[in-house]
Amino acid sequence: MPSRHVETCRFEVDRKRIDSVNKRLRPSSFLPRNGASGAPETSVIGIDSLSEEDIWRLGSLYVAPPGRKLKGRADFSAATVYELSLDLIDDNEIEGRHSNIVDWPEDRGQWIDIAGQLALNSRFSRNPEV
Amino acid sequence: MDLNQLLEEVKLLPEEDLEILAEKVSEIRDSRQKSQISRLRSDLDEVAEECSARNWDGIGAEPVSEDAVSYGRKFIDLLSSRSIDFADANVGVSATPTGEVFFDWPKRNSIFMVQIFSDGTVVYSSVGGSRKFKAKLKFDEIVSSSLFEDLITFLRS
C-alpha cells in the first residue's frame, strides 16, 4: 500500500551532518539504520498540512534524544523516494505520521548514491530555536 | 575593486612581482589546506566520542566502529600527504547509523562521497555533476586506485 504521505522530512540533531554552505543535510543523514527486523530503514515524518511550528514540535517531542536539540531538517516528497526505487512504509508512531524509507538495495555500495540523491533533492530548514 | 579590475592590474605587474604573488597565493592555500586537515582530524575525534554509544542519533543508530574510525584517521593522513587542493571545499566527516565513517565534499549541485567500513572496505561515489565517479576497494588499495585522482577531477570540475 502506498504511503499516505506526500511530503516528508528527515530531522537532524548532529551539526556535522549539515552542510551549512550549500544549505542541506549531508548524505550520511539519509543513510539507513538496521531496523527491528534487521532490514535497513530511514525514519521520516509525514508533514502534509502541518504548520512549521507543528513540524518542529513533533521533531522536538519524538525525534530529538534527551538533552539534545534538533539542528535542522530536510523536506522531500514521497515521489522522490519512489523515483529512487525505494518505498515508504507508514506506521502509527509519532501521532500517525511516522514512516520508514525501505527497500534499500542489498548492495550497500549503492546506498551512498541514494543518500546523495536524497540530499540533493531536499529542501533544508534550520531549527529557528538554535 | 572587483575581481576583474584586480586581474587586469595583476596582468600589468612585472614578472618578478608575479612570482612573489604566486608564492604568496601558494602559501595561503597551503595554510588553508593544513587548517582543513586539522579541522577534519578534530571533527573525526569528536565523531568517535559523540557516536560511541548505541542510539547516539536518538533513532537507533549503532555505535561508530573503532576500526572504521582508525581507517578514517589513516584516510586523513593520506589526504594530507597528497597535493589535493580542497582548501575551499566544505568537506565533512560524520558517522553513519550502521557504524561507518563518512566523508563528503559537497558542491552546489553535486557531492563526492567516501564511506569507510570497519573491515577496511572503501566505497566512493559522486552524485550530480556531469561525470560519475564510483568504485569499491580495500583500504590498502587506495593509494594505487583512482580515488584521489577522481576527487581532484571532481573538485576542479
Cα–Cα nearest to B126, from B138, B114, B137? B114
Residue B3 has what pLDDT? 65
User: What is the spatial distance between Cα B73 and Cα B40, in angstroms, rounded to a whole number?
Assistant: 9
Q: Which domain holds residue B105?
A: 3-156
Distance from CA of B11 to the nearest CA of A (A): 32
CA–CA separation, A125 and A70 (whole Å): 11
Question: Which class for A43: exposed (0-12), middle (13-18), buried (19 or more C-beta within 10 A)?
Answer: buried
Closest by CA position to B64, among listed B76, B55, B75: B55
Indicate yes or no: CB of B102 within 8 angstroms of CB of A40: no
Taking an 8 Å cut-off on Cβ atoms, the answer to whether A116 and B108 are in contact is no
pLDDT digits over A54-76, tens only? 999 999 999 988 888 999 999 99
User: Chain B, 36-65: which have a CB under 8 Å from a chain A CB?
Assistant: 43, 46-47, 50, 55-62
Domain-located, residue A116: yes
Q: Does residue A76 belong to any structural domain of this protein?
A: yes
Per-residue pLDDT tens over the stretch B110-121: 999 999 999 999
Residue A13 has pLDDT above 80, yes or no: yes
> How far off is chain B from A40, nearest CA to CA, in Å?
9
Split into its structural domains, chain B has a count of 1
* Structural domain range at position A46: 7-126
Residue B2 reports pLDDT greater than 80: no
Residues on chain B touching A112 (C-beta within 8 angstroms): 102, 113, 115, 123, 125
With respect to residue A2, please indicate whether it lies within any of the assigned structural domains.
Answer: no
Q: Note whether A27 contacts B98, CB cutoff 8 Å.
A: no
User: A1 lies in a domain?
Assistant: no
Q: Summarize pLDDT for A93-108 with one digit per residue, the tens.
A: 999 999 999 999 999 9
Distance CA B100, CA B33 (A): 25
- Give the model confidence (pLDDT) of B49-103 as tens digits: 999 999 888 778 999 999 999 999 999 999 988 877 777 778 999 999 999 999 9
Q: Is the ipTM of this complex over 0.90?
A: yes
pLDDT at A72: 97
pLDDT of residue B71: 98
CB contact under 8 A, B94 and A119: no
What total of structural domains would you count in chain A? Answer: 1
Contact A116, A27 (CB under 8 A): yes
**Distance, in angstroms, between A2 CA and closest chain B CA?**
23
Q: Give B61's contacts in chain A (Cβ within 8 Å).
A: 33
